[in-house]
């Protein structure tokens, strides 16, 4: 028989199981769920209920009651069978597995910044009230952690699992006050430096994971990640931003995403606005964290908008019912017809044109770079998928096609004719009035020339003239 698993959920073990940093509540919850799952799979009950090879369906039938359904979150949350494992809270799992909760709480709060209220919410959460996809991924994650094996060449299409003979987790009993492999100082360093990357480019969390798996000493480590961020790392504002991000992540993890009422300080209008939105995703761009949401915008229309998290004014996000009269009719109809937007929509729109403001109109831009500068700094880099090299003749054709005013068209063509044909020319679709794009052009100064569109060219010329007036 395989070894039994009797380890208490001390911070070191939870960190091993977590798919990320424990200071993020959803990672902590999942780590505890994986611990409870291991405790069941490697217990006498688990060995009796499941054979050597088992599928997800086999496990589900043994673990839950016959009335349990795992396809829809609503069915799970409305399940009332008191004998079903999906009813048990985190606190009940800890008591059932003989974990002294007060001692465990103290140990956990020494290791990670977790408020009493967040911890209480965690203990009251129904640990296994998850849809099939989440629970299946839990088993797959245990495979990645070498706590289960995937069985090949078994008849049928279902995934088969098998317990391992020896768990990679220490089998000896360790007290709950165990000092983790990384010191508290080093954990804080890793969390502060790498934790924020969980919502950035998909490759960055993997990099963070790789670095965090090794012991990091601030005096000898040689990998540095710097992020140009608008909000100071240690400030009440940053704490509020982290709280909002954590609450949003919990909403998305739940599968039941309600409309939210945001009280928002609009910098463009210098006013406080109330916006009812459907939250879709978070991205980091233009030196801040943004919530991409669809609904009523600060401008008063119904559209996409990106809300900077540090400008959302609230202690907690106010959740609304879909029948609430404050929910815009257009947004409610998307809900009723099951057409609510997704993060794929945001990603697709970001790929359509260059810029952060993916909901703005797009237009064609033609740029010129001096030959040597282009060779040294532009050639071979990835600015945007739509950033395409063209020749001088194509640039002239585009100028003729996209400049309807004859005088403006003639002026730009004469300018183009005066430039060296050996210079580099590019075309790209961009989001009109997008500040990110303007800031990028402004940073290059005289190293880049906007040939098209005319309005943007004039805007850049005026900025350069105003700058010259300051320094002349």
Q: DSSP string of 349-371?
A: HHHHSBSS-TTS-EEEEEEEE-H
Using the predicted structure, report yes or no on whether residue 165 has a pLDDT greater than 70. yes
Residue 205 pLDDT level (bands cut at 50, 70, 90): very low
203/197 Cα distance (integer angstroms): 9
pLDDT at residue 179 greater than cutoff 70: no
What is the per-residue pLDDT for 226? Answer: 62
Mean pLDDT, residues 350-371 taken together:
92
φ and ψ of 365, to 5 deg: -120, 140
Identify which has the larger pLDDT, 201 or 133: 133
Q: Higher confidence at residue 216 or residue 382? A: 382
> Using one digit for the tens of pLDDT, what is the confidence trace for 74-125?
778 888 888 898 899 999 999 988 888 888 888 888 777 777 888 888 899 9
Segment 229-270, tens digit of pLDDT: 666 554 556 667 777 887 888 788 777 899 999 999 988 888
Beta strand pairing status for 448-452 and 54-55?
Answer: unpaired
Which residues have CB under 8 Å from 50's CB, separation 6+? 41, 58, 59, 62
Q: How far is the CA of 181 from the CAs of 178, 210, 212, 214, in angstroms?
A: 9, 15, 11, 10
Question: What is the spatial distance between Cα 295 and Cα 280, in angstroms, rounded to a whole number?
Answer: 11
Q: CA 259, 261, 262, 268: dihedral to nearest 10 degrees?
A: 90
pTM exceeds 0.75 for this model: no
- pLDDT tens column, 6-29: 778 887 788 778 755 565 666 788
pLDDT digits (tens, 9 = 90+) for 303-341: 999 998 888 887 567 899 999 999 999 999 999 998 999
Confidence band for 453, pLDDT divided at 50, 70 and 90: very high
The sign of the torsion formed by the CA atoms of 178, 182, 186, 187 equals negative
CB contact set of 412 (below 8 Å; sequence gap of 6+): 399, 403, 451, 452, 454, 457
Alpha carbons within 13 angstroms on the beta-carbon side of residue 288 total: 17
How many angstroms separate the CA atoms of 70 and 47, rounded? 23
Q: What is the mean pLDDT of residues 367-387?
A: 87
CA 324 from centroid of its chain's CA atoms:
28
450: pLDDT strictly greater than 70: yes
Distance CA 196, CA 204 (A): 10
- pLDDT over 50 at 188, yes or no: no
pLDDT computed for residue 3 by the predictor: 55
Q: Dihedral, CA atoms, 160, 164, 170, 174, nearest 10 degrees? A: 70
Can you tell me the distance from the alpha carbon of 8 to that of 170, in angstroms, rounded to the nearest whole number? Answer: 11
Q: Which of 76-85, 160-169, 193-202 has the weakest average pLDDT?
A: 193-202
Q: Taking residues 210-221, what's their average pLDDT?
A: 49
Which pLDDT score, from 0 to 100, does residue 369 have? 93
DSSP state, 179? P
Cβ atoms of 119 and 91 within 8 Å: the answer is no
Side-chain half-sphere exposure of 106, counting CA atoms within 13 A: 7
Measured CA to CA, the distance from residue 172 to residue 47 in angstroms comes to 20
pLDDT of the residue at 232:
59
Q: Are 358 and 423 in contact (CB under 8 A)?
A: no
* Local confidence band at 279 (pLDDT 50, 70, 90 cut-offs): very high
How far is 152 from 173, CA to CA, in rounded Å? Answer: 33
């Amino acid at each position: 028989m395989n070894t039994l698993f009797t380890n208490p959920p001390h911070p070191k073990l939870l960190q091993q199981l977590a798919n990320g940093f424990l200071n993020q509540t959803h990672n902590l919850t999942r780590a505890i769920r994986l611990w409870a799952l291991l405790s069941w799979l490697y217990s006498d009950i688990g060995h009796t209920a499941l054979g050597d090879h088992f599928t997800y369906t086999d496990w589900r039938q043994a673990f839950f009651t016959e009335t349990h359904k795992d396809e829809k979150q609503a069915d799970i949350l409305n399940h009332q069978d008191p004998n079903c494992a999906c009813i048990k809270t985190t606190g009940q799992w800890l008591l059932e597995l003989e974990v002294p909760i007060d001692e465990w709480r103290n140990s956990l709060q020494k290791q990670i910044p977790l408020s009493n209220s967040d911890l209480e919410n965690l203990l009251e959460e129904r640990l296994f009230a998850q849809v099939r996809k989440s629970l299946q991924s839990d088993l797959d994650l245990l495979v990645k952690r070498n706590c289960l094996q995937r069985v090949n060449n078994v008849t049928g299409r279902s995934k088969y699992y098998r317990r391992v003979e020896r768990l990679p987790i220490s089998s000896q009993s360790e007290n709950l006050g165990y000092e983790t492999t990384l010191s508290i100082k080093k954990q804080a360093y890793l969390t502060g430096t790498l934790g924020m990357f969980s919502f950035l480019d998909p490759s960055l969390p993997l990099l963070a994971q790789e670095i965090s798996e090794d012991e990091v000493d601030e005096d000898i480590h040689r990998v540095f990640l710097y992020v140009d961020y608008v909000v100071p790392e240690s400030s009440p504002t940053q704490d509020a931003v982290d709280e909002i991000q954590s609450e949003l992540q919990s909403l998305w993890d739940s599968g039941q995403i309600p409309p939210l009422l945001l009280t928002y300080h609009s910098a463009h209008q210098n006013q406080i606005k109330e916006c009812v939105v459907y939250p879709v995703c978070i991205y980091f761009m233009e030196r801040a964290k943004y919530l991409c949401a669809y609904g009523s915008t600060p401008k008063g229309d119904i559209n996409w908008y990106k809300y900077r998290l540090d400008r959302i004014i609230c202690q907690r996000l106010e959740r609304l019912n879909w029948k609430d009269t404050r929910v815009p009719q257009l947004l409610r109809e998307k809900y009723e017809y099951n057409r609510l937007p997704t993060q794929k929509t945001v990603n697709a729109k970001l790929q359509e044109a260059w810029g952060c403001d993916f909901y703005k109109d797009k237009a064609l831009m033609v740029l010129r770079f001096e030959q040597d500068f282009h060779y040294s700094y532009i050639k071979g880099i990835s600015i945007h998928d739509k950033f395409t090299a063209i020749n001088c003749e194509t640039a002239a054709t585009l100028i003729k096609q996209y400049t309807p005013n004859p005088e403006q068209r003639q002026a730009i063509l004469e300018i183009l004719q005066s430039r060296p044909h050996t210079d580099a020319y590019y075309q790209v679709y961009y989001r009109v009035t997008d500040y990110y794009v303007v800031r990028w052009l402004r940073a290059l100064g005289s190293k880049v020339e906007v040939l098209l569109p005319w309005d943007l060219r004039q805007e850049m010329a005026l900025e350069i003239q105003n700058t010259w007036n300051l320094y002349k």
